[in-house]
Amino acid sequence: MKIGAMLGDILRSLFKKPATELYPFVKNPAPEDLRGALQYDPSKCTGCQLCIKDCPANAIELVTVDKVNKRFVMRYYPDRCVYCAQCVQNCRFKCLAMSDEQWELATTKREAFVVHYGKDEDVEFLLEKAANAGVEEPCIQE
Amino acid sequence: MNTAWILLSLLIFPGGLFLLGSGLVYEWVDRKLVARFQNRIGPRWFQPLADVVKLLAKEEIIPQEVHRGLFLLLPVLALAGALTAALYVPLIGFKPSFSFPGDLIVTLYLLSMMSLCMGLAGANTVDRFSLVGATRTLTQLFSYEAPFLLALLGPAIVTGSWQISQINAQAGNSLWFIITQPIGFVVALVGLMGKLELPPFDAPEAETEIVSGALTEYSGRGLALFRIGKDVELVIGLTLVAAFYLGGLANPIEFLLKTMGLLVVMAGLQSLFARLRIDQTVGLWWRVGALLALAQLLVLILLRG
Amino acid sequence: MEKQDSNGKFIVPIGPQHPALKEPGHFEFAVEGEIVTGAAVRLGYVHRGIEKGAEARNWTQNIYLLERVCGICSHIHATAYTLGVEKLANVVAPPRAQAIRTLVAELERIHSHLLWLGVAAHEGGFDTLFMFSWRDRETVMDLLEMITGNRVHYSTNILGGVKIDLDDEKITAIRKGLDFLEERTHHYLKVINTDETFLGRTRDVGTMSRQQAEELGAVGPTARASGVPRDLRVEAPYAGYHEFPVRLITATEGDLHARFVVRMNECLDCYRVIREILDRLPGGELATRVPRRIPEGETISRVEAPRGELVYFIKSTGGDKPDRIKVRTPSLCNWGTVTSVAVGHKLADMPMLLAGIDPCFSCNDRMVRVNRPDQSQTWSWENLRQYGIEYYR
C-alpha cells in the first residue's frame, strides 16, 4: 500500500548510463553461435543436395559445373533465407556454416541478395554463361 | 510606454518569439528527463523544434462535418490565450510587461482557455475518439481548476494582493511559501500537471484508449499550434508556481534554477504513476485536492484575521 | 464513420489500426458515457494460410513454418509439432534433447511474460514499468540469442531432438542472467502488489469467477488467475517436465491484478525449473534419427504455451509431407472472456482488459469459414476470390 513504488528505480536511473544501445555507432559483438548469413566451403561439398531438400525457404540452389571433378557453385539468396540453419544440420561434410559476423544484411540493392559461393573460376564461368543470353545453365537442380 | 515597446514585448520578448522558443526548450528538458528517469537516452535538443517544423510543413486536413471556421480558429485562440497570459507573469525573473491589480485572476482564466479550446475542438468533429476525449478534457478542467485556483490564492491572501508582480516581490522578501504552505505547493504543482494533461492525468489523450483524444482529427498547422500552446503553458505554469511558492523570481539565474528544479520534480511525478482513469482523477481532485486546498485556505484566513 | 449502430448505441471502435493494438484486430465497444454496455470482436485480418502451406512442405520444413505462427512463442509451436511428429514416427528424443527443449521453452516463457508485463503496463499508462520490464527482458533475449543463435526464432528443434548444445560457459551465463532476472521479478511483483495508482487500474477490473472461466473455456494464466488448476505441464507432462516438474500457480481473485501476480509468480517458478535443469542436465545424444516418411496415422499434441494450452492435430498418410495440420492457439480460447466481462467496465479499462489475456492476433487467424444457409458450402477459388473482392469493396 504505497504510492510511487518505482521511485527507487527512477532516481537510480537518473544517475545511471541509459540502457539504450547507440546501435549504428556502437555495435555489440554478436554471440558465437549467431545464425547470420550462410557460408559455403566448396572444397568439401559432394553435391548431395541434402541441404536444398530441407530448406524451408528455397533460399539455396546448387549449380553443378562439373560433377565428376566436384565443381559446384552455390547460389544463396539472403533475402529468402529464414536463418534456421537446417541446411547446416543436414550437411554431412560440414561445408556449410552460419556466420556470426555477417548479420547486417539490409541493403538497397537487389544484387546483394544473390550471392554466389564457390571456387573463383567456377563462379566466373557461371556468371559468364548467364551473361550470354539464351544459353542455358548447366543442369540446375533445386 | 510607447507603441514600439509594446509591439516588441508582444512579438519578441517576453511574449511571442521568445516564449515559443523557451516553450520548446522546456518541452525538450521534460522529455529528456522522463527518458532519463526511464533509463532511456531521450530525444536530442532540436527534436521538439523538428516536430513543429514537420507539422507545419504537413498538409492540414479538415475533416468532413466540422465547422470549418471553428476548426481553424481554435488552435490560434488556444495559443493566443497562452501567449497573452505570459505578459502578466515574471518571465526570466524580469518585471511583467503589463501589470494591474487583479491580473492573477485574468492570467488564470487565460491559461484555462487552452483546455476549453481543446474541448471545443474535440466536440466540433464527429470523430468518436475526439468526442470522448473532449468530454474527458472538460471533465478534467472542472476537476483540477478549482483546487489549482485555491492553491494559487494562498500566497495571494498572505501577501494581500491580487497582482502577480507584487506577490512575486513579496514572496522574495519573506520565508518561502513552500515551507509555510506545503499543501498549496503540492496542489498547485499537481494541478499544473492536470492542466497540461501530463501523465498520470493524461486520460483525455490516453493513446491506448482514444488515440489522441480531442486532437485526434487535427493535423499539420492546427496540431502544431496546440502543441506549442501547451509548451508555452508549461513555461508560464512553472513560472507562476516558482514565483509564488519558491521565494519569487528576481533574476534570470533564479528563474532558470527554480523552474528547472520544478520541472525535475514534475518529470519524476510523470514517470512514477500509472494513468488515472477519468473517474479516479475527478475523485482525487474533489475528495483530496480541493478539500486540502480549502483547509489550507481556511487556516490562512483565520491566521490573518 | 457512423457514430451509432442500428440500435442507437454509441460505438467506440478499437482497431484494426489503433495505438493500443500491436497487431490488427477489431473491437467494437458500445458505450454510454464512459461505461461499456456491449463488446464484440472481429478477427481475421492476419490470416496467412499457414495450415494450407504446411501441406505443401515436407516434415522438416514445416518446423520452421509453424515456428512462425507466433512471433513470441515460436519455440513452443515447434515443440508441439515435433513432439507430435515424433509420436507418429514412434521415436522418442533423447533425454538431453528433451531437457534442452524444456529449458528453451521456459526461457521463452520468461521472455513472453516480461514482454506482457510491459505491454499491459503501457496500456494502463504506466510507461516507466513498461520501459524497465523491457530493459530487463533484454537479458533473457540475450541469453536465448547466445544459446540458440537468434533472438526470436530459436529454431532449436529438429525432428528427433535439438540442434543446440549447452557447455559450461553458457550454463554459467544463464545462471548469472537468471540471478539478475529473479531479483528484478521480485521487484516487479512488489510494484504491482503495492503501487496504489497501478492497483487502482488492475484490482477488481475484469473479474472472472472460476465458474465463468471454466464455462468460457479460458486457458493458461487467464484461467489460472481465476483459480482453474489447468496447466498441461502439470496435468500431462511432455518433453522434460516428467524429470523437472513445475509448480501449478493459481490465484483466486480472477481480476487483472491476479493475472499480473500469476504471470510474475510463473516467471519465478521458471527460474527454479531452469536452475534445476542446469543442475541435472542429462548427458548423451542430442538427436535420434527420424525417417523422412512418417508412418500413416493421426495424433494430437498438446503443450502449455506461455498463453495457455496449445493443441496441434497432425495427420500423416505415410508420405514425406503432412496430410493435415490443425493448430488451435490459446489466444482463441480466451477471446470469449474479454467480451463477456467487458460489460459494465469503464472504457478506460478496455485496453488493459484486452491486453490482460495476452492476445496474439496472428495466432488466431487460421481459417475463415463463411457459413450461411443460402450459399453452398463448397467454394471454388474463383468464388472465394470474388467474395473477398465484394466483401471488402
Q: Do C197 and A3 touch (CB under 8 A)?
A: yes
Give the CATH fold of the A31-141 domain: Alpha-Beta Plaits (3.30.70)
Q: Which three cell numbers stand for residue A102?
A: 555477417
Mutate to test the interface with B, among A6, A14, A15 (most CBs of B within 10 A): A14
Residue C338 lies in a domain: no
In angstroms, the Cα distances linking C256 to C19, C199, C207, C208, C252 are 21, 9, 7, 9, 11
Closest-CA distance, B202 to chain C, in angstroms, reads 8
Contacts A–C by Cβ distance under 8 A: 76
Residue C264 lies in a domain: yes
Query: Residue C371 — φ and ψ, nearest 5°?
Result: -120, 95
Q: Do B208 and C195 touch (CB under 8 A)?
A: no
Structural domain total, chain C: 1
Buried b (16+ CB within 10 A) or exposed e, C147-176: bbbbebbbbbbbbbbbbbebeeebbebbee
Contact between C310 and C328 (Cβ < 8 Å): yes
pLDDT tens string B247-294: 777 788 888 888 899 999 999 888 888 888 888 888 888 888 888 888
**Predicted structure pTM score:** 0.87
Residue C306 lies in a domain: yes
Nearest CA in chain C to B208: C20
The string of DSSP codes covering C71-91 is SSSHHHHHHHHHHHHHHHHT-
User: Hey, is the C-beta of C151 within 8 angstroms of any chain A C-beta?
Assistant: no
Q: What is the ipTM score, two decimals? A: 0.86
Nearest CA in chain B to A17: B39
Query: Residue B174 — φ and ψ, nearest 5°?
Result: -105, 180
**Length of chain A as a residue count:** 142
Strands A60-66 and A140-141: antiparallel
CATH number, domain at C84?
A: 1.10.645.10
Query: Residue C378 — φ and ψ, nearest 5°?
Result: -95, 120
Q: Do C196 and A3 touch (CB under 8 A)?
A: yes
Contact between A95 and A85 (Cβ < 8 Å): no
Q: Which residues of A touch C61 (CB under 8 A)?
A: 54-56, 86
Q: Which three cell numbers stand for residue C28?
A: 467494437
Nearest CB among A3, A4, A18 relative to B41 is that of: A18
Give me the amino acid identity at C77. H
Residues of B with CB under 8 A from a CB of C: 37-40, 126-129, 131-132, 135, 199-200, 202-203, 206-211, 271-280
Domain boundaries, chain A: 31-141
Q: By residue range, what is the domain housing residue C193?
A: 50-329
Q: Do B272 and A7 touch (CB under 8 A)?
A: yes
Q: Which helix (H) or strand (E) holds A6?
A: none
The string of DSSP codes covering C123-135 is HTT-HHHHHHHHH
User: Hey, is the C-beta of C13 within 8 angstroms of any chain B C-beta?
Assistant: yes
In 3D, which of C204, C64, B292, B115 has the Cα closest to residue A82? C64
- pLDDT tens across the length of chain C (393 residues): 344 555 567 888 887 888 877 788 888 888 887 888 888 888 778 888 888 888 888 899 999 999 888 888 889 999 999 999 999 999 998 999 999 999 999 999 999 999 999 988 888 888 888 999 999 999 999 999 999 888 888 889 998 889 888 888 899 999 999 999 999 999 999 888 888 888 888 888 888 888 888 888 888 898 999 988 888 888 888 888 888 888 888 888 888 899 999 999 999 999 999 999 999 888 888 888 888 888 898 999 999 988 888 899 999 988 888 988 888 888 888 888 888 888 888 888 888 888 888 887 777 665 545 555 565 566 677 877 788 788 777
Low-confidence ranges of chain B (pLDDT < 70): 1, 93, 305
Interface partners of chain C (CB pairs < 8 Å, 3 or more) are A, B
**Length of chain B as a residue count:** 305
Q: Which three cell numbers stand for residue B24?
A: 520548446
**Cα(B170)–Cα(B154) distance, integer angstroms:** 13
Strands A38-40 and A71-76: unpaired
Report DSSP state, residue C16: S
The answer for residues whose C-beta is within 8 angstroms of residue B57's C-beta and 6 or more apart is none
User: Any alpha helices (H) in chain B, and if so which ranges?
Assistant: 3-11, 16-37, 47-57, 68-86, 103-124, 128-159, 164-173, 177-180, 182-195, 207-210, 220-245, 252-272, 278-283, 290-304
Contact between A140 and A61 (Cβ < 8 Å): yes
Nearest CA in chain B to C125: B275
Residue C152 lies in a domain: yes
Domain boundaries, chain B: 50-304
The answer for residues whose C-beta is within 8 angstroms of residue C281's C-beta and 6 or more apart is C96, C99, C166, C171
Residues of A with CB under 8 A from a CB of C: 1-6, 9-10, 19, 31, 33-35, 53-57, 82-86, 89, 98
